[in-house]
Amino acid sequence: MTMAACDMHYIGGEWIAPVEAGRVVAVISPASETQIGTVIAGGSAEVDKAVAAARRALPAFSSTTPAERAELLGRILALMEDRAEDFAQIITAEMGCPIGFSRSAQVPFGLAHIRAAIEVLGRFEFSRRQGTTMIAREAIGVCALITPWNWPLYQMTAKVAPALSTGCTMVLKPSENSPFSAQLFAQVLDEADLPAGVFNMVTGTGPEVGALLSSHVDVDMVSITGSTRAGVQVAQAAAPTVKRVTQELSGKSPNILLDDADFARVVPLGVASAMRNAGQSCSAPTRMLVPKRRLPEAEALAAAAADTIIVGDPRNDETVMGPLANRSQFEMVQAMIESGIAQGARLLCGGPGRPEGLERGFYTKPTIFSDVSSDMRIAREEIFGPVLCLIPYEDEQDAIRIANDTCYGLGSHVQSADLDRARRVAMQVRAGQVHINYPAWDAHAAFGGYKQSGNGREYGSFGFEEYLETKSVLGYFPS
């Protein structure tokens, strides 16, 4: 196996050739728009085999101790650390992430989920006494894990680590747009000597493999990270078998700049946060809410910050923003930029088309609109690209109202020189995660959304909860 051909599924501890040869999906370099390989498209035969392998492995693996599972995760972590540069290079090639960002964020954050799981295993209570009753937390069973292309390794470890930690067995369906990082991840798990069938991977498309896993009668849980549209489809497919579905979906996160904030600091950081990973993050703070009287100041600072973003070949160390990950995303972002112009938003920088000098590749200009109102498409719909909206507000309550005027509720930010004030505002924002004054990332902080941003939580002990059933055994202890 090479990056040129992801040509086998990983099932029952072995690399398995597809049942039906010739069913492949082309993998396109976002930097050059040329084909760099293929990935096999699985179907019902492979899904059935993988689920059956996971089901066979479940009784023994769910009976292992937390210490045994922590040792297993430790082996995985060591192998991943050894292959960190390989992961970085692959992620850059397959989805266009600048190599510096792959090395500093994409890979380290993925490793952090493994470390966090090991830490939680050391203290998590899988059983406790409640009077004469014993409360047991047991593995939910066979899990289908559906992961996206924008943070490929990070999202795989965010699901696989807690599933392994809690004694579940699983079938991973990675994005067909980023299959090579998944292939390397499966190789690492194979080298870590997991019991056969504990981890399985079937590649292919969401409408086929994802749907088959979601509706499969022997799958006990589905965890998906993706668009709200995809999350709805998974939930509908899963409904007849009444399995658990956890969803981390779309977002349209606000960044509230209160009037006492240090704009020289918070505006450039807000631009960087919105544009990070070319804006391809579901929690990216793409709505910057600014006091009306300070809007001109924010506009000047935001445009200057965007001007420093170096767009170019993701293999170059100096590149800050590479291309968007695929053609469909590029076309969507271009259409949304055109929509902003058509609906009367004021373009501060960027705009339609590729940056000057980049005629090939899915490159997009860092784009900032001002005088955006909440009824515009660019303020309401997830763009998933480097497009930031500056939205003026009248007062603090107006800012909170605008922040919550969305069908989403994944992430949010609040900036203020007064920490108590920031805390008060943060508690009124309807979102699963709020960042005050750009804090450090926390691998143990619960991540997930309100409203149409999903159901359930990931990361740390909160991620464990999604993979566990609760059993009450009355009379277990003597009265």
Catalytic residue positions?
248, 282
Give whole-number Cα distances, 213 to 190, 204, 219, 241, in Å.
22, 11, 7, 11
CA atoms within 13 A on the CB side of 308: 9
Give whole-number Cα distances, 234 to 42, 237, 247, 276, in Å.
17, 5, 9, 28
Tell me the C-alpha distance between 186 and 14, whole Å: 10
Give the gyration radius of the chain's Cα atoms: 23
Q: Are 171 and 50 in contact (CB under 8 A)?
A: yes
Tell me the C-alpha distance between 200 and 172, whole Å: 6
* 8-state DSSP, 103: I
Question: Of the candidates 83, 79, 234, 244, which has an alpha carbon nearest to the alpha carbon of residue 168?
Answer: 244
- As given in the structure block, the two tokens for residue 265 are 């600091």
Tell me the C-alpha distance between 393 and 295, whole Å: 9
DSSP output for 376-395? SHHHHS---SSEEEEEEESS
Give whole-number Cα distances, 97 to 149, 227, 415, in Å.
11, 20, 28
Helix, strand and coil content of the chain, in percent to the nearest 5, comes to: 40, 20, 35
CA atoms within 13 A on the CB side of 189: 31
DSSP, collapsed to helix, strand or coil, labels residue 325 as coil
Q: Are 267 and 305 in contact (CB under 8 A)?
A: yes
Residues shown for the chain: 479
Question: Largest alpha-carbon pair distance within the chain?
Answer: 78
* 8-state DSSP, 277: G
Q: Are 203 and 37 in contact (CB under 8 A)?
A: no
